[in-house]
């Protein structure tokens, strides 16, 4: 019986070809495609060299960093992922570069490659506490002055600390302990769909009807 001929493997897609090319860049430790998006893992210590190659190599030409953000995985030893979304306008292609970091390890800044990354690195520092080496303007950008902690960490407490508000009488910003108080209230749980038993002013008639229904044949005792 003749052996069945096997169909030749499908040729790689443009996204797979791009992933294979990026895998040859020193410092890239792996790549994958998830939901039709190319993701490449990078060694943190070689991040600047990797990003420079992705920008300058004509095969990639990623001229823009569209976004930079942190992701918190508190159960991991290196709990943070720093995610860079890169765009090549000239070649119409995208890649997401991911590198890992911890609370004590620093990530090299890429602001010298893409100056717009300064805003994103400040945001990642403010919300996650990720430190970027070489970033000259590492200040908080979304939380208030004197804010303690980093609110996007998954172990950040949901209550406590202080709140800030503008006091009209003092004409100044004041800090106060967080107070989540609620005045005592009387709640009426009667559903409006159940209908009202009596109308205001008809209480006497309602009581008389109740008394009639309580006696046989509606006779008053």
More confident residue, 130 or 160: 130
Query: Coil, strand or helix: which one is 212?
Result: helix
Question: For the domain bounded by 14-151, which CATH number is listed?
Answer: 3.30.460.80
Give 187 or 51, the one with higher predicted confidence.
51
> How many other C-beta atoms are found inside a 10 Å radius of the C-beta of residue 185?
5
* pLDDT tier at 7, thresholds 50, 70, 90: confident
Q: Of the ranges 33-42, 93-102, 139-148, 199-208, which one carries the lowest mean pLDDT score? A: 199-208
Q: For residues 8-20, give the mean pLDDT.
A: 92
Output the average pLDDT for the chain.
Answer: 86
pLDDT of residue 5: 75
CA distance 220 to 169: 67
Predicted TM-score (pTM) of the model is 0.71
How much is the average pLDDT of 37-45? 96
How far apart CA 216 and CA 29 sit, in angstroms, is: 91
Domain layout of the chain by residue ranges:
14-151
Q: Is the pLDDT of residue 218 over 60?
A: no
Residue 157, pLDDT score: 78
Give me the pLDDT at residue 179, please.
65
Characterize the bridge pairing of strands 132-133 and 107-108: parallel
Q: For residue 90, how many C-alpha atoms fall within 13 Å in the half-sphere facing its CB?
A: 10
Q: Average the pLDDT over 52-79 and give the result.
A: 96
Residue 72, pLDDT score: 96
Which DSSP state fits 111?
Answer: T
């Amino acid at each position: 019986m003749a052996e069945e001929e096997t169909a030749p493997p499908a040729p790689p897609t443009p996204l797979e070809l791009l992933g294979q090319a990026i895998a040859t860049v020193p410092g890239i430790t792996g790549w994958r495609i998830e939901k039709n998006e190319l993701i490449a893992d990078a060694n943190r210590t070689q991040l600047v060299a990797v990003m420079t190659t992705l920008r300058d190599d004509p095969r990639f030409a990623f001229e823009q960093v569209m976004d930079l953000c942190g992701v918190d995985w508190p159960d991991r030893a290196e709990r943070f992922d720093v995610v860079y979304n890169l765009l090549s306008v000239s070649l119409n292609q995208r890649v997401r570069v991911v590198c890992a970091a911890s609370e004590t390890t620093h990530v090299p800044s890429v602001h010298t490659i893409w100056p717009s990354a300064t805003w994103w690195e400040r945001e990642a520092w403010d919300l996650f506490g990720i430190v970027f080496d070489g970033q000259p303007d590492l200040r908080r950008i979304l939380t208030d002055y004197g804010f303690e902690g980093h609110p996007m960490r998954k172990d950040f407490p949901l209550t406590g600390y202080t709140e800030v508000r503008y006091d009209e009488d003092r004409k100044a910003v004041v800090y106060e302990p967080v107070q989540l108080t609620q005045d005592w209230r009387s709640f009426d749980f009667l559903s409006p769909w159940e209908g009202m038993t009596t109308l205001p002013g008809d209480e006497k008639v309602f009581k008389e009807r109740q008394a009639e229904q309580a006696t046989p044949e509606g006779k008053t005792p």
